[in-house]
Amino acid sequence: MRIAHHLLRSRFGVYHFRLKVPADLHAAVGRTIIKISLRTSDHRAAQAYSCALSLHYAQAFAALRGAAMPKPPPSIEAIVASENADGRRRYEIDIDPLTLRPTKVRTDGTPEDHLAAMQTLGVVFAQALPQRPGGATGQAVAVPAKPARLSLADAIRLYEEAEAPSLKPNTWSQRTRAFESLKTFLGPNTPVASITRERAGDWAHDLITRVPAGKKKAMTKRTAGNCVSHAAQLFVFLSRRGKFEGANPVKGVVVLSKKEKDARRHAGFKWEPFGVDTLKRIFEPANLERIRGEHVRWGVVIALYTGARVGEIAQLYVRDFFKEGDLPCVRLTTDSDGQSLKTEASHRIVPLHPDLVALGLWERVEALRAGGAERLFPDMRIDSKAGSGNAISKGFGYYLKQLAVKPQRANGRLGVHSLRKTVIQSLQASQLSGERRRAFVGHERGDADVHEADYMRPWSAEELASLFPGLKWAEWLDLAGVRKLLQDASPKRKRGDRSATTA
């Protein structure tokens, strides 16, 4: 069934009345779009209420053009009451808000009903409609002066004052670049209210077609889509503050379709896992010795046995390590300063693989506790704009270049995240459930997985430890050689200190 142009249906099935205000009445009405919830999911009822509102707004617009004080349109409750109060036949009529003329009438198709509808129209539109500005009389109706408009530069300043403190440095850096690009293209003094979807589209088109100074090529569509997504947040903020009305002009002007995303994936634009031969080269003690920073050495070893994200590893505190029974564990949480996690599922307990204990991780934790240190890597910065794990990521990237380890595909990527993918694929070969693997690496449950999301309790450390046989790195890893390298850079326990404090 055709939905009239002034009817919208939300994703919850409720209909809304939406009407564009004629351009010459924007200042008088105070908005460009009128949107009212009809509070019904019944299509026929929504059409009836919409028709009534269309007629009332047509009369109000006519009164505004005639310099008379229009009566406010009735509430939706009043319209519903009127519709239910009598059993008179009602017809579905589309009204052009600019000409105030009917454009379409719907009947049941019979000649009798058609004739009755025409008679109804004759009654409704019997009175002559006021002329629009610049009509036959040649006299234009005075329009009140528009109030001062918020400029784009001022809008960005308001956003920065209110939102920047709560954003991660890397997120704010990307958002700032998007705002500056939009401001440069449209002009800092451009009124926010005048930014249309067409102008936003022109900006987005410029992003993916113009080669910036000092660059060899224009922005990719994927990067432009990210830039557009950041810029759209400005209008979300302004809309919440009542400083912008109507649809977000920037949101969605560049979207990477599913087909394009699949094409990128097939072209190799993704993280690649490490093969066993490559892992042997990376963790060969003679090669691993090239890495000078203890945070990089320990970071990649922990990633190899936990599959944790690099940021999760970098921000670990000594207090996050504890024992559940006799099983050493680490808690990935946001309880300490500088800690943040990607999703709610990222909050988890990870049992420490016996190989990690053999390599000296628990000894390192105890030595740091004895020395009064708070963080696992006390000397490493975690406040970089590129993320808390940036120092580990960069160090490991340099190390891979030294070893001439390259991705298999031209568009592929290798880094610490490749270790996470390697761990997940290794566990995939085990007989354990996907539920347990997701809990171990901190992946979200499926939205439709009611069994897992609503009924299951969190996995215990002992249950997750059953994953350890799936990580068979000790078959080729020189544990003694790697341990020696790790111990050389680890903090030493004070002489005579035999404490083994646990959280």
Domains of the chain from N-terminus onward: 7-124 (no CATH), 152-256 (1.10.150), 276-489 (1.10.443)
Q: The pTM is what?
A: 0.62
Q: Give the rounded distance of the alpha carbon of 245 from its chain centre.
A: 22
Interatomic CA distance for residues 346 and 438, integer angstroms: 10
Contacts 24+ apart (CB under 8 A), 71-76: 76/36, 76/37, 76/38, 76/39, 76/49
Considering only CA atoms, which of 437, 488, 439, 475 is closest in space to residue 355?
Answer: 475
Whether pLDDT at 2 is above 90:
no
C-alpha dihedral over 263, 268, 269, 272, to 10 degrees? 140
Interatomic CA distance for residues 57 and 336, integer angstroms: 57
Whether pLDDT at 40 is above 70:
yes
**Burial level of 296, CB count in 10 A (0-12/13-18/19+)?**
buried
**What is the per-residue pLDDT for 50?**
80
Considering only CA atoms, which of 459, 442, 421 is closest in space to residue 347?
Answer: 442
Please report which confidence band the pLDDT of residue 360 belongs to, taking 50, 70 and 90 as the band edges. very high
Q: Give the rounded distance of the alpha carbon of 129 from its chain centre.
A: 49
**Burial level of 247, CB count in 10 A (0-12/13-18/19+)?**
middle
Please state, in angstroms and as integers, the Cα–Cα distance from residue 183 to each residue in 136, 188, 203, 237, following that order.
43, 5, 10, 16
Interatomic CA distance for residues 98 and 399, integer angstroms: 67
Whether pLDDT at 72 is above 60:
no
Considering only CA atoms, which of 297, 321, 420 is closest in space to residue 375?
Answer: 321
Whether pLDDT at 85 is above 90:
no
**Tell me: the pLDDT tens digits for 419-448?**
999 999 999 888 778 888 888 998 877 655
